[in-house]
Structure formats: structure tokens, C-alpha cells
Structure 1
Amino acid sequence: MKSFVIADPQKCIGCTTCMAACSDVHKKEGLQSHPRLTVVRHKDATAPVMCRHCEDAPCATVCPVAAITKHEDRISLNETQCVGCTLCSVACPFGAIAFDGSRPVAMANSYDTYIPSTPRSSNPSTSNPVVFGQDILAWEPGVKSIAVKCDLCNFREQGPACVEMCPTQAIMLVDEEKAARSRQNKREDAASVSQNISMEQ
């Protein structure tokens, strides 16, 4: 079973602390600063959209350069290997993969200070801003558009930053142990209900 993070919309208050925490820890690691999850609102409920690290992983299946690979408990993305084709984003059933302009990790780590990402930039051929209508696209040499996907903060011993920093504990990490415990609780609840019905009859 793959591990993944999931949010309870009844506890989520839409504060976007999870997005800020995700962005901060990845930026410090030399990875893209774009958050790996996005808080969305539907009617009166809010919850972050995030990668579920699917067992069949359609994103990994369609990646033409094997930048997305399956591991024992997660689906990982190699930012340096990504070519920005967007196929993974199209294939993702949860809409959990975005694209942002940033330095690949190997290049980002070659600088003393992290250089923030440049949204929607994919052409490193010029460093001068190019104006299209009302949008100003600031091209930066060495920057390309690459995928942004949850990695469960695999570089942190504490686990995903979004889980740790959520003020209402709306986000939790689901792994094999928690899934097994949940299945057992459901079986016990079902058995209890069945027993009560039998006693009433």
C-alpha cells in the first residue's frame, strides 16, 4: 500500500498554513517553492487537493522520461529529470500535479542562496521580460517549467510538513498501519451494530 496525506474538510478552516509550510520546507531543500497541495473551497467546505500516491500511478505510467517512479510507499518525482511535457498532470485523476517555473534541484543547489521560482516560465532563452497583453512573463536563464508533486517530504524525519503544521489537525498521513486499524474499527462497529439488531429481535 502507498502512503498518502488526506484532509478532513470538516476540520479544515482554509487557512492555507499547509501550503505555506510545504513551500517553505521544499524551498530550503533546494526544490521548487511551489506548494505540493492547493486549498480549494466548495460551497461552505474547504480542503486541500493533494496527491494520493495511487497504486497504479497513471502519472508514472505516462511519463516519457521516467521522471516519476514507484517506490515501496510513495510515488516520487525527479525534478531534474522532468522535461515539462505535462502528461502527468493530464493523467492525474485528482488534479494534484501542477507545473511551475523553477530551477531543477541539481542547479538550485549550486547557488549559495535560493532563487525563487518564476511562475509559468518555460523558455530560458532570454532574461528580459516579455509582454503578452497584460501578462509579464519574466524569463530567467536556466529556469524551465517542471512538475510539482507531493513527495511526502521524504527528506524530513518528521514526515510531511503539512501534517505537522496544520493548526486544526485536519491533515493526516495514511499508511498501512493506520489503514489496517481503520479497517479493524469498521469491522468491530459493523459487528456491534449486527449484535444490537439481533438482541432487539
Structure 2
Amino acid sequence: MAKIYLDPERCIGCRSCEVACEREHGHPRISVGIVGDLAAVPVYCHQCDTSPCTAVCYTGSLRLDGDMVAFDQDLCTRCGLCVVACPFGAIELRSMIQRCDLCIEKETPICVMTCPAEALRLGDVDVVSRSTRRRAAGALAARLVRI
């Protein structure tokens, strides 16, 4: 399954992904957090393999559907457990739960298509190598440690 990956060294903090997502969905399902002067960090659903949000959802409104976390707003009671459980802070509680669905109706998520620095990329878990993911995580950690 394809997932969104971030190359933190490329993110310029322009928030193009956020604006494009808001245009597409009426509310941004990705946000760019600015940490100090040094790091812009897009916050989005990582479609976790062991998704804590689905584990705490007692109504089944958030559930694993194959390799993707699916959401059924009709079953959602807005209890907020998923918001607390998400390790990435990617779920918001508004009039209904807001979270990334990878623009399921499109071939490529709008945030990935819009990113001018190509910091957000769509890739298959099996194709994106472990070393690539570790390098990106290390680069992000190094930027955050300097703050």
C-alpha cells in the first residue's frame, strides 16, 4: 500500500500542502507545525500498521480496511479517544473527526501533488527502503535537537 513519506530536509514550511488540502476538503487534514526557527514539520496521518486510533475506537468508525485506516463518520460518537491515541497528532475533533484519507478519490493525494519542494512523496511501503526512512527520521531528529 502507498503511504505519504516526508523528507524533512526538503520541507520549506510554505504550507502549500495545507492550503491545497483545505481547498480540496474544506478543512486541512494536514498541518505544518513550525518548531522554533529551524524546522517545519508537516503533521498528517501515517496510516499506521498498528494503528492506535483504531484500537481505541469502540464504535468501529475508525477501522483497518486492508492497509488503510478507514473512517465512517456515521458511527463516530466524537468521544475523542482517537485524538488522544494518535501518536502523530494527526486527528482533530471538530463537528466531526478530521483525518487524512490519502485523497482516496484521487490517484495521488493533493498535498503530495502540490508540494513545490517534493518534501511529501507517495510511495509503497515495500519500495521505500528502510535506510531511506531512517535517514529521513535522523534528519528530522537532528533538526529538532538543535532547537
Same fold, judged at TM 0.5 (above): yes
Deviation by residue 1:84-141 (Cα, 9 ceiling, x = unmatched): 11100011111111122xxxxxxxxxxxxxxxxxxxxxxxxxxxxxxxxxxxxxxxxx
> What does residue 8 of structure 1 align with?
7
Task: Indicate the SS of the match to 1:82.
Answer: coil
Greater RCO, CA 8 A, separation 6+: 2
Deviation by residue 1:158-184 (Cα, 9 ceiling, x = unmatched): 3211000111111011313422xx248
Q: Measure, in 2, the Cα distance between the counterparts of 1:185 and 1:167.
A: 20
Task: Indicate the SS of the match to 1:64.
Answer: coil
Q: Give 1:41 deviation, angstroms.
A: 1.1
> What does residue 56 of structure 1 align with?
50
Q: Measure, in 2, the Cα distance between the counterparts of 1:176 and 1:183.
A: 9
What is the correspondence of 1:50-199 to structure 2 with a 5 Å cutoff?
Answer: 50-100=44-94, 145-156=95-106, 158-179=107-128, 182-183=129-130
Task: Indicate the SS of the match to 1:178.
Answer: coil
Look up the equivalent residue of 1:169 and give its one-letter code.
E
* Runs of 4+ deviating beyond 6 Å: none
Task: Indicate the SS of the match to 1:85.
Answer: coil
The count of residues paired between Structure 1 and Structure 2 equals 132
> What does residue 45 of structure 1 align with?
39
What is the correspondence of 1:16-35 to structure 2 with a 5 Å cutoff?
Answer: 16-26=15-25, 33-35=26-28
Q: Measure, in 1, the Cα distance between the counterparts of 2:112 and 2:76.
A: 27
Q: Runs of 5+ in structure 2 lacking a partner?
A: 134-147
CA contact (8 A) 2:49 2:67 kept: no
Q: Runs of 5+ in structure 1 lacking a partner?
A: 27-32, 101-144, 187-201
Q: Measure, in 2, the Cα distance between the counterparts of 1:7 and 1:86.
A: 26
The verdict on how the C-alpha distance between 1:185 and 1:166 changes in structure 2, with shifts beyond 3 A counting, is closer
Task: Indicate the SS of the match to 2:127.
Answer: helix
Q: Measure, in 2, the Cα distance between the counterparts of 1:13 and 1:6.
A: 15
Q: Give 1:37 deviation, angstroms.
A: 1.1
Q: Give 1:6 deviation, angstroms.
A: 2.3
The verdict on how the C-alpha distance between 1:185 and 1:161 changes in structure 2, with shifts beyond 3 A counting, is closer
Q: TM-score, normalised by structure 2?
A: 0.80
Q: Measure, in 2, the Cα distance between the counterparts of 1:92 and 1:57.
A: 8
Larger C-alpha radius of gyration, 1 or 2? 1
Q: Provide the identity percentage.
A: 39
Look up the equivalent residue of 2:41 and give its one-letter code.
A
